[in-house]
A and B are shown apart, each in its own frame.
Chain A
Amino acid sequence: MTFLSLQNISKRYDATVAVADLSLAIERGEFFGLLGPSGCGKTTTLRMIAGLETPDRGVIQFDGRDITRLSPERRGFGMVFQNYALFPHLDVFENVAFGLRARRRPKAEITERVKSALQLVQLPGYERRRTGELSGGQQQRVAIARAISIEPALLLFDEPLSNLDVALREETRGELRELVARLNLTAVYVTHDQEEAFALCDRICVMSEGRSLQTGTPRELYERPAEALVARFLGRNNLIKAMRLSASHVRSATFKTLEGGHTLNVFVRKEDLSPLNSAATLAIRPEYLRLSKTEIVEDNTLQATVREINFTGATTSIKLDAGGLALEALVIQADGLSVGDACMVMLPPQHITILGMNKGMRDERRDEG
């Protein structure tokens, strides 16, 4: 049985649609991510799970119970807010104890559980500190301790790391993952940071404009994006508009690019079968492009000119022009190439993804408009 399920959830504020017909199924013990650009409805979705908003339509079920209209205090979910929402008038101990006091637990138990919660987030001895005296990272830990102190059935995170600086964010990320695993909790995590979502989550739902675009493991999303928006949102991608030339048969197909008129061979899976002469978008990650100054005799090799070289540290991004087709390659080293040089670029067929045919093209056009 699905632990938490959202069925055809919709929510609108006045004229703006925040969430449209969203369905999710989250399993027990899963670390589930909601990923998308700001304004895509991910926070609203989380707030509906927490009970802070009520969906206009749809059903939320938790452990087989309909909780769609249950008030937040009756749900028993722990939530970590983006700005932590620590009570400024209470000290660390009282903040963590808040949920236990609301449940009227005996004093000894409260002391005990606050202590162990603070231990878990590595803040022992901070009980009597005022929240204002703590650093951002420490406040973050107090917020987490407060959320786990009530032994939540579900832990909700609303971009909890976005107010921390980069180094601290990566450190906290690891600890968070470990903590959730150790307590064997189920978590829903909202973020707009792809790297964060990939590092933390077992499965991720990529959202845009209130819709779910694709749900899957980080690897699936990265390697096999279902449509252009996902491909674009999850890291850099070369998106190539093309027409299908060869007849449909499993394993491989030939495409002709609209820009440059090159012929590309692509491995085709069953679900990618499509009629002849239909438009499609091909995607290939820049790190999969192979560059060479000398001739390569392999499929999908194009003549190109180097337009731009950007050194970014660990990798170097090289922008190429292959007879009108713009491509980007990520390499470890520029390999003696400089702007204006002619070179060969190879697109390995196994790394080319065919994106949802018509949808991909439509999104493409809308984005450009």
Chain B
Amino acid sequence: MRDEEKKAAGGKQSAVSGKRESVSNKNPTSAGFSFLSSFIPHPSSLIPSQVPHPSSLILSFVVFLVLLYGVVYPNLHVLVASLLRDGAWSVGNYVEALSSRTVQESIASSIGLSLLTVLLCALVGVPLAFLFERYAFPARRLFATLATLPLVLPPLVGTVAFIFLCGESGILARAVQWAFDLRSAPWSLRGWTALLIFHTYTMYPFFYVLTGAGLRLTDAGLSEAARSLGAQPFTVLRRVVLPQLTPSLIAAALLTFMTSMASFSAPLLFGGGVRVLTLEIYNARQRGDGAVALTETVILAIISLCALLFFQRYEGTRRFVAAAMKGTARRRSPIKSGTTRAVAVICGSVFSIALALPVATLVLVSFAREGGWTTQALPPSYTLDNYARLLTEGGTGEVIINSLLMSGIAALAALCWSFCAASLVAGGKRSSGVRSRWRRVVSLLVLVPWALPGTVVAISISEAYGETNPLTGSFILVGTFWILPVIYFLRFMPLVVRAVQASMEQIDPALEEAAGSLGAHWWQRFWRVRLPLIWHGALAGALLAFVIALGEYVASVLVFVPSNRPISIAIASEMRDFRLGTAAAYGVILIFIIAASMAIAARLEKRRR
């Protein structure tokens, strides 16, 4: 959040950089999710130091090398491969794919599901943000923090928890069945409804967090001015508040749309008859139908990239957000009436319980004795065996170490690389022409792997590096330990770059200029000024990439090596074998590591302030 506030606040401060500190006292709810806010289109970056960087040539070289081999080449490779048929150029693959009913249906389902998800998430997230940002009531902070809970839940773990809770043999269904003495399960968790409920549960925080950040940015003085001009509260909302929120809402809608397009675990486990593109790609690959998988991958990539381009286009078109930061500080209005207060608290509690239930279920099931839970609402007997087995049995403890190692490597590489990339990208608008055009290209390329669904990244890397090709300098990654760290790195380095970039843009350019005028050379400026000021933010970003990589499933399932399975693959296979307790125990351990890392990240963010 903080990055964005500062960034947007710093918008028009090219000349008067002195005011920057004055806007930093915003409240820090839901710390640790600042990465989300870095996706709000922001007006214009601060103008960076003009002091030339002699090392920038080496930096550019490293950055371009990684982008070339990690982003450009694999994706072009897939595109070219999809356009080749029996060694000749042809659009036959596409004609065939687009005329097939299955593919048509899956495109329509993917887009339809994503649009509906956006709508539902907006309906839940936006009012919630208004409630928590605009009004004060007991336990508001607790609820506000709980509301971001689904963000730390890896999709696969969330899906598993959802099945335990709401599935046809889950706790809720069994409880209803038992209470009303029904003969069969009251519902089945399949198809559109299930997918939409689950998507809303996991993705509404995008709207909640970004709208909240946007609301904190809006100038209360503007609303007060509108009121004093005689506007009714509703008019103020429609004509003053919502226009200011548009950048946040657009960003949230796109994040939700793209996440939903990439969603894989939920359609896989309880999608029922709903065919979505990610699932079709997986199925085609399992069938060994490489051409179809490639074609569908390109189609999915194109849809996601269109969304990204729309987002980039939109970036910077709404400049007024930052216009008035000198306004009055907005205070949360306390809810005075006793009844309303009670309603707010009750709604908040019910909501929070609903949010926490899947996690609670997961914990509960992780203690259930394997095979002991059949028709009862709750598991009848509890044991620590699941955890004991995880940690002692050969091969299982290894899974956790594997995951930690691979995510750690990816996060560390992303951290180092981000310093290079962000130094290039965190450029100002002042330097014009070729340089800034290159900058835009770099920042777009950095974003591409983030915008592409995990399925696409996994397929493009495995296709591009499946066989040696000395001409393009490609080497074999498929089947080696390194394929997953590389994919994790590519998928999540945009988050780290954004975090580092946000931290860099927060630095007053005058600081490095002052260091320069005091006689510090570029390496001294980097070590003594820039690094001490950004390492908190950078490390927080790297931790975030680490935890997301830890729970990664979508790409892992396509390319993992049996000797080197990550946790998510282990969870899926335990689920297949109906060893629910073990699967849940894995999930709980994962959540535990994630929560710990996020706490550290949040603390780092706080230190940064």
Whole-angstrom CA separation of A78 from B516 in the bound complex: 10
Task: Judge whether A77 and B511 touch: CB under 8 Å.
Answer: no
* Contacts A89-B532, A163-B18; A73 near B510 (Cβ below 8 A): no
Chain A residues with CB under 8 Å of B18's CB are 82-84, 163
Given contacts A83-B510, A88-B533, A98 and B528 within 8 Å (CB-CB): yes
Residues of A within 8 A of B23 (CB): none
Instruction: Name the contact of A71 in the complex, choosing from B15, B508, B516 (C-beta under 8 A).
Output: B516
- How many whole Å from B72's CB to the nearest CB in chain A? 30
Q: Which residues of B contact A71 (CB under 8 A)?
A: 51-52, 516
State the main secondary structure of chain B at its contact with A: helix
Given contacts A71-B52, A72-B51, A72-B513, contact A102 B532 (CB under 8 A): no
A319 within 8 A of B: no
A84 to B20, CA, bound (A): 12
B51 with A52: CB separation less than 8 A = yes
What are the interface flags for B480-513 relative to A under an 8 Å C-beta threshold, 1 for contact and 0 otherwise? Answer: 0000000000000000000000000000101101
- Chain A residue, CB-CB nearest to B518: A99
Between A38, A76, A99, the greatest number of chain B beta carbons within 10 A of the residue's beta carbon is seen for: A99
**CA A38 – CA B16 in complex, angstroms?**
11
Q: Is B332 an interface residue (CB 8 A)?
A: no
> What CA separation (Å) do A331 and B326 show in the bound complex?
38
Question: A97's closest neighbor in chain B, by CB?
Answer: B518
A14 to B432, CA, bound (A): 7
Q: Complex: how many Å from CA A89 to CA B17?
A: 18
B508 surroundings in chain A (CB, below 8 A): 83, 85
Question: When the two chains form their complex, are residues A50 and B517 in contact, meaning their CB atoms are under 8 A apart?
Answer: yes
Which residue of chain B has the shortest Cβ distance to A143 in the bound complex?
B514
Asked if B470 is an interface residue, CB under 8 A from chain A, the answer is no
B529 contacts which of A51, A73, A87, A163 (Cβ < 8 Å)?
A87
Complex interface: chain B residues within 8 A of A156 (CB): 517
Fill in one digit per residue for A30-46: 1 if any B CB lies within 8 Å of its CB, else 0.
Answer: 00000000100001000
Whole-angstrom CA separation of A50 from B512 in the bound complex: 13
Interface flag for B524 (CB, 8 Å) = yes
Q: List B contacts of A99 (CB < 8 A).
A: 518-520
**A73 with B533: CB separation less than 8 A:** no
Whether, in the assembled complex, A103 has its beta carbon less than 8 Å from a beta carbon of chain B, the answer is yes
Return chain A residues, CB-CB under 8 Å to B514: 79, 81, 85, 87, 146
B17 partner residues in chain A, CB cutoff 8 A: 82-83
Number of B residues contacting the other chain (C-beta, 8 Å)?
Answer: 28
Kindly list chain B residues whose C-beta atoms are within 8 Å of the C-beta of A146. Answer: 514, 518
Assess the A102–B515 pair: CB atoms within 8 A.
yes
Q: Which residues of B contact A50 (CB under 8 A)?
A: 513, 517
Interface membership of B430, Cβ < 8 A: yes
| A51 to B: closest C-beta gap in Å | 8
- Please encode chain B, from 517 to 537, with 1 for each CB lying within 8 Å of some chain A CB and 0 for all others: 111110010001100110000
CB distance from B510 to the nearest CB of A (A): 4
CB-CB under 8 A from B519, the residues of chain A are: 73-74, 76, 99, 102-103, 150
Q: Which residue of B lies closest to A78 (CB)?
A: B517
Please report the C-alpha to C-alpha distance between residue A98 and residue B511 in the assembled complex, in whole angstroms. 12
Residue B60 lies at the interface, judged by CB distance under 8 Å to chain A: no
Please state if A82 and B16 are interface contacts (CB–CB under 8 Å): yes
Interface residue SS majority, chain A? loop
Q: Which residue of B lies closest to A158 (CB)?
A: B510
Q: Is the CB of B50 within 8 A of A52?
A: yes
B515 touches A81 (CB 8 A): no
Give Cα A98 to B532, complex, Å. Answer: 14
Least CB separation from B529: chain A residue: A87
User: Please, which residue of chain A has its CB at the minimum distance from the CB of B511?
Assistant: A85
Docked pose: A1 CA to B432 CA in angstroms: 38
CA A89 – CA B519 in complex, angstroms?
18
- Are B533 and A89 in contact, CB atoms less than 8 angstroms apart? yes
Query: A242 to nearest B CB, angstroms?
Result: 39
Residues of A within 8 A of B520 (CB): 73, 98-99, 102
Contacts of B521 in A (CB 8 A): 73, 102
By a CB distance below 8 angstroms, the chain B residues around A81 are 510, 513-514
Chain A residues within 8 Å of B52, by CB: 71
Could you tell me if A98 and B517 are in contact, using CB atoms closer than 8 angstroms? no
CB distance from B451 to the nearest CB of A (A): 30
Q: B522 to nearest A CB, angstroms?
A: 8
Q: Are B533 and A52 in contact (CB under 8 A)?
A: no
A133-158 CB contact bits vs B (8 Å, 1 = yes)?
00000000000001100100000100
Report chain B residues within 8 Å CB of A359.
none
- Do the beta carbons of A72 and B517 come within 8 Å of each other? yes
| B residues near A85, Cβ cutoff 8 Å | 508, 510-511, 513-514
A146–B510 Cα distance when bound, in Å, is 14
- Provide the residues of chain A in CB contact with B510, threshold 8 Å: 81-83, 85
Give the Cβ gap from B387 to chain A, nearest Cβ, in Å.
43
- Expressed in whole angstroms, the Cα–Cα distance for A8 and B199 within the complex equals 65
| Cα–Cα distance between A181 and B230 once the two chains are bound (Å) | 58
Residues of B within 8 A of A150 (CB): 518-519
Min Cβ gap A316→B in Å is: 33
Residues from 100 to 151 in A contacting B, C-beta threshold 8 Å? 101-103, 146-147, 150
Q: How far is the CA of A9 from the CA of B415 in the complex (A)?
A: 42
CB <8 Å contact, A79 and B517: yes
- CB pair B430–A77 under 8 Å, yes or no, is no
A369: shortest Cβ distance to chain B, in Å? 26
Minimum CB–CB distance from B605 to chain A (whole Å) comes to 16
Name the residue on A nearest B52 (C-beta).
Answer: A71
Provide the residues of chain A in CB contact with B430, threshold 8 Å.
Answer: 13
From residue A92, how far is it (CB to closest CB) to chain B in Å?
15
CA distance A150 to B521 in the complex (A): 15
Q: In whole angstroms, how far apart are the Cα atoms of A39 and B382 in the complex?
A: 74
Q: Which residues of B contact A78 (CB under 8 A)?
A: 517-518
Pick the most buried of B51, B517, B519, B520: most chain A CB atoms within 10 A of its CB.
B517
Residue-wise interface mask of B (5-30) relative to A, using a CB-CB cutoff of 8 A (1 in contact, 0 not): 00000000001111110000000000
A351 at the interface (CB under 8 A from B): no
A84 / chain B contacts, CB cutoff of 8 Å: 18
For residue B6, give the distance in angstroms from its CB to the closest CB of chain A: 13
Is A173 positioned at the interface, with any CB of B under 8 Å from its CB?
no
In the complex where A73-B516, A77-B517, A150-B519 touch, is A87 in contact with B524 (Cβ < 8 A)?
no
Residue of A nearest to B507 (CB): A88
Bound: A43/B17 CA distance, A: 13
By a CB distance below 8 angstroms, the chain A residues around B517 are 50-52, 72-73, 75, 77-79, 147, 156
Give Cα A76–Cα B519 distance, bound, in whole angstroms: 6
- Interface assignment of A53: CB less than 8 Å from any CB of chain B: yes
Nearest Cβ distance between residue A157 and chain B, in whole angstroms? Answer: 12
* Docked pose: A8 CA to B532 CA in angstroms: 40
Rounded to whole Å, the gap between the CB of A102 and the closest CB of chain B is 4
Within the complex, what minimum Cβ distance (angstroms) separates A122 from chain B? 21
Residues of A close to B51: CB separation below 8 A: 52, 71-72
Q: Is the CB of A72 within 8 A of B516?
A: yes
Please measure, in the bound complex, the distance between the C-alpha atom of A87 and the C-alpha atom of B517, giving whole angstroms.
13
Within 8 A of A (CB), among B287-321: none
Instruction: Report how far A98 CA is from B524 CA in the complex, Å.
Output: 10
Cα A168 to Cα B303 with chains together (Å): 60
Of the A-B pairs whose beta carbons lie under 8 Å apart in the complex, a sample of 28, sorted by A's number, is: A13-B432, A14-B432, A38-B15, A50-B517, A52-B50, A52-B513, A71-B52, A72-B513, A72-B516, A72-B517, A73-B518, A78-B517, A79-B513, A81-B510, A82-B510, A83-B19, A85-B508, A87-B511, A99-B519, A102-B515, A102-B521, A102-B524, A103-B519, A146-B514, A147-B517, A147-B518, A150-B518, A163-B18
- Known A81-B513, A98-B518, A102-B515; 10 more pairs at CB < 8 Å: A43-B15, A71-B52, A77-B517, A78-B518, A81-B510, A82-B17, A99-B519, A102-B528, A103-B519, A146-B518
CB-based closest 4 A-B pairs: A83-B18, A99-B518, A85-B510, A85-B514
